[in-house]
Chain A
Amino acid sequence: MKAFAHLLERLAFTAARNAKLRLLRHYLQSTPDPDRGWALAALTGDLKLRAVTPRLLRGLIAERVDEQLFALSYDFVGDMAETIALLWQGDGGDDVPLSEAVALLQDTGRAGLPAAIAAMLDRLGPSERLAFLKLATGNMRVGLSARMARIALAEMGEPDVADIEEIWHGLTAPYQPLFDWVEGGPRPAHAALAPFRPVMLSTPVDLDQLQGFDPGDYVAEWKWDGIRVQAVNDGGVRKLYSRTGEDVSGAFPDVIEALNFDGAVDGELLVRRGDDIAPFGDLQQRLNRKTVTKAMLDSHPAGLRVYDLLIWQGRDMRLLPHSERRAALQAVDFGSDRIDVSPLLPYATWDDLAALRADPPSPVIEGVMLKRSDSAYVGGRPRGPWFKWKRDPMIVDAVMLYAQRGHGKRSGFYSDFTFGLWDGDQLVPVGKAYFGFTDEELRDLDRFVRTNTTERFGPVRSVAPKLVLEVAFEGLNESARHKSGVAMRFPRISRIRWDKPASEADLLDTLRAMLP
């Protein structure tokens, strides 16, 4: 438990992805089974324990600490579990195995739980008490995704991430066979139905690069601004996975219900109303929900636009060329108006395709996809068989308003910039960007911030509104949470307009007119 608590603490304060991966890898390498497996499950959200309520914890501390002193402490610390972990008086001498703490939370009956938790807290030091309470309340919040956990595992041994992803969903904590495999043992057998298969990804391309390829070797489809998913029905077990293998079935019962086939298909998840495809913002409202209301299902119906078959009626299609998979796909009747097939675009030359790309029939199209007809379906991002040729980004000229210091390699540099557009004589913040510039430009921006600071709020500085930033972004959503009413997707700084006066920056209305 000491090592686990130390890991949680380091992860909670570490922003950089690579540093997080190293911390996790070192922990997994130095911790014995089954503790490391329980830790992995806790971090990836796959550990289902009896959820301990804040009320139970409050009751425990009320028996031990004066009510007023507790209230003053909680007010200062701001987090219930942390307050209790700090206030609890224990000797802290024991290094309780994590598996023992997990067993306690799995097996203890409701009536015995308060006493069991108190007895455990008595044995732990403050840092371990916090780890235990976070485990008990199911609230890790260390910014570590299941995907990152799998990358850390891949860094430990032979299997690569795609291999691990393929079997991940058939495994259960504490993952002994997985660790054995990573450390040189046999590959665990698929244990569960409807596993996730590693997704094939594309690389970006432009018209100049395409001149080196024969248009006849490729087929083209629209690139839709939805979410890439893998939909599986394996002997009646239905799953919807994101492209990184997260199970998102819970948020899309309407799509799950429509998966009346036997196989695994690759496609785009979209919100559709009749023939219309809704903007990405509508789809976003369906994401990250544990349950979906009936009203939401009616107002934001989701559907699937299929572009590939991975497994079909018991047959693994992935090693077949794309042309054969495509022919099989076109012969399928999905029997649902929620599922259709992504059509191929007619073109003879790259210029034909450029003309189509320049004038797409729907604002929810973000470019075209090119797939080599003779290519197999390969997990990962092989260079060549699949290209994405995205539409040009949207651009506005905005004024820098605030700057914040960065972390890691950008420690000490003001590298996160909030920018705004004109609404009357006011500049309204419309977004934040922290990349797109070179190291040299970063030094210039940092110098600008330091010499033009008007106010300081902790790590944030307000700057005199005089520097114009050309901001490129991939799309725009309506947003009630932002004062401007819009939210940009993937904003980055494409140019620094040292030459342009702030008064000539764009209007908020100009941005709003770009909404799909």
Chain B
Amino acid sequence: MRADQILHPTEAGLYCPPGDFFIDPVRPVPRALITHGHGDHARSGHGSVLATRQTLEIMAIRYGEDFTGTRQVAEGEIRVGDVTVSFHPAGHILGSAQIRVRPDKGPTIVVSGDYCRAPNPVCAPYEPVPCDVFVTEATFGLPVFRHPDPLSEMTRLTASMAEFPERPHLIGAYALGKAQRVISLARQAGIDGPIAIHGALQRLCDYHIEQGIELGPLIPATAADVPAQLVIAPPSAFASAWVQRFRDPVIGFASGWMTVRARARQRGVELPLIISDHVDWPQVTQTVRELAPSELWITHGNEDGLMRWCELEGIPARPLRLVGYEDEPE
């Protein structure tokens, strides 16, 4: 069987005919395999979902217990139709996994979903999985993206908090994964006091704590007067009236996009923090070299840059042009 007979893009997402399932489908399907809990990869309304225990629990928190007909926890090798699948840590967010699809005869394909190789205290580290076809994201697929050490970015935050002690620092971070990582990094950077969190983060932070991840003292940022200098909120909150309770805030945003100044300016950010849960250029190119797949498939992002690099390196590559995935999903 050829690789594109095992897995190929459709309008609903990546489809596996011999297993009769979709990976991260963008619309409801009878059988879905989900890499991680971000909204554009994990949607509700499927007939059945196979994912890691944590991804299933996160989906239940976000969509309610009835988010799917039936659910199955991914553990070890699982037979689905005529293929064998297994889930391996992707280092992106809590519960995130790469999915390996192995036919009885033919090439092994690894769908990495979103992945990251920088140390992340809130999830298990990425694990390289040998394969014939590697399916990668290219969110930061340009050589300008070389994410700095996230702790050095936190030093910029603590320096600003010291320089402007009277101003609350509001850091935008996506509710699932990034927010908890920023809180955890802030603790590593020596911020011991209470950190205030926007209401939209409460249940997901509680879940991380249940899973044994230390986040330290958190208080809700819902009262008229919030007694914390550091406040974490989803970026969308900065356009809402919620932000009006803070006097002269320093608005920050934790994202890999903050590498590019024009992007930071577009968001009206005063303190851009380059903290990303995706592979940057050195990581994605290193991963491809390490795995040395006979073919690279690129799902979404800046695929032109990565395509060009593959051409220069002599690695067969093709873009899947999947629709429905965001630049950097929530």
A504 CB within 8 Å of chain B: no
Q: In the complex, A412 Cα to B247 Cα: how many Å?
A: 10
A26 CB within 8 Å of chain B: yes
Q: How many Cβ-Cβ contacts under 8 Å join chain A to chain B?
A: 90
Q: Which residues of B contact A413 (CB under 8 A)?
A: 244
Q: Check A77–B244 contact: CB distance below 8 A.
A: no
How many interface residues does B have (CB within 8 Å)? 41
Q: Check B271–A86 contact: CB distance below 8 A.
A: no
A411 CB within 8 Å of chain B: yes
Residue of A26, A76, A82 contacting most chain B CB atoms (<10 Å): A76
Report the stretch among A61-69, A227-235, A317-325, A331-339 that lies at the interface: A61-69
Binary interface encoding of chain A residues 378-416 relative to chain B, with 1 for a CB under 8 A from any of its CBs, else 0: 000000000000000000000000000101110111000
Binary interface encoding of chain A residues 3-17 relative to chain B, with 1 for a CB under 8 A from any of its CBs, else 0: 000100010111110
Q: Check B238–A69 contact: CB distance below 8 A.
A: no
Q: In the complex, A87 Cα to B260 Cα: how many Å?
A: 12
A69-B143, A69-B305, A83-B144 as given contacts; A13 in contact with B271, CB under 8 Å:
yes
A79's contact among B248, B261, B302, by CB below 8 Å, is which?
B261
Q: Which of B284-313 contact A (CB under 8 A)?
A: 302, 304-305, 308-309, 312
Q: In the complex, A69 Cα to B305 Cα: how many Å?
A: 6
Q: Would you give the shortest CB distance from B279 to chain A, in whole angstroms?
A: 16
Q: Which residues of A contact B156 (CB under 8 A)?
A: 6
Chain B minimum-CB-distance residue to A447? B241
A65's contact among B143, B260, B269, by CB below 8 Å, is which?
B143
Q: Check B248–A411 contact: CB distance below 8 A.
A: yes
Q: Would you give the shortest CB distance from B217 to chain A, in whole angstroms?
A: 25
Q: Check B243–A12 contact: CB distance below 8 A.
A: no
Q: Check A22–B261 contact: CB distance below 8 A.
A: no
A405's contact among B239, B302, B304, by CB below 8 Å, is which?
B239
Chain A minimum-CB-distance residue to B240? A412
B246's contact among A14, A19, A411, by CB below 8 Å, is which?
A411
How many interface residues does A have (CB within 8 Å)? 37
Chain B minimum-CB-distance residue to A443? B244
Q: Check A72–B142 contact: CB distance below 8 A.
A: yes
Q: Which residues of A contact B248 (CB under 8 A)?
A: 16, 408-409, 411
Q: In the complex, A77 Cα to B266 Cα: how many Å?
A: 13
B104 CB within 8 Å of chain A: no
B260's contact among A68, A77, A409, A446, by CB below 8 Å, is which?
A77
Q: In the complex, A25 Cα to B242 Cα: how many Å?
A: 32
B272 CB within 8 Å of chain A: yes
Q: Which of B219-256 contact A (CB under 8 A)?
A: 238-244, 246-249, 251
A44 CB within 8 Å of chain B: no
Q: In the complex, A110 Cα to B4 Cα: how many Å?
A: 56
Q: In the complex, A27 Cα to B206 Cα: how many Å?
A: 40
Q: Check B163–A26 contact: CB distance below 8 A.
A: yes
Q: Check A76–B302 contact: CB distance below 8 A.
A: yes
Binary interface encoding of chain B residues 258-271 relative to chain A, with 1 for a CB under 8 A from any of its CBs, else 0: 01111011101111
A303 CB within 8 Å of chain B: no
Q: Check A19–B243 contact: CB distance below 8 A.
A: no
Q: Check A69–B309 contact: CB distance below 8 A.
A: yes
Q: In the complex, A469 Cα to B156 Cα: how many Å?
A: 42
A458 CB within 8 Å of chain B: yes
Q: Would you give the shortest CB distance from B255 to chain A, in whole angstroms?
A: 14
Q: In the complex, A13 Cα to B312 Cα: how many Å?
A: 37
Chain A minimum-CB-distance residue to B305? A72
B262's contact among A23, A78, A87, A412, by CB below 8 Å, is which?
A78
Q: Check B262–A69 contact: CB distance below 8 A.
A: no
Q: Would you give the shortest CB distance from B225 to chain A, in whole angstroms?
A: 16
Q: Check B241–A446 contact: CB distance below 8 A.
A: yes
Q: Which residues of B contact A26 (CB under 8 A)?
A: 163
Q: In the complex, A73 Cα to B244 Cα: how many Å?
A: 37
A184 CB within 8 Å of chain B: no
A13's contact among B148, B238, B244, B270, by CB below 8 Å, is which?
B270
Interface residues, chain B, CB within 8 Å of chain A? 142-146, 148, 156, 159-160, 163-164, 238-244, 246-249, 251, 259-262, 264-266, 268-272, 302, 304-305, 308-309, 312
Sampled A-B contacts (23; CB under 8 Å)? A6-B156, A10-B160, A13-B270, A13-B271, A16-B248, A19-B164, A22-B163, A73-B142, A73-B143, A78-B260, A82-B260, A83-B144, A86-B145, A86-B260, A87-B144, A126-B146, A126-B148, A405-B239, A405-B268, A409-B247, A409-B248, A412-B242, A458-B266
7 closest Cβ pairs, A-B complex: A412-B243, A86-B144, A412-B244, A73-B144, A409-B248, A68-B308, A72-B305
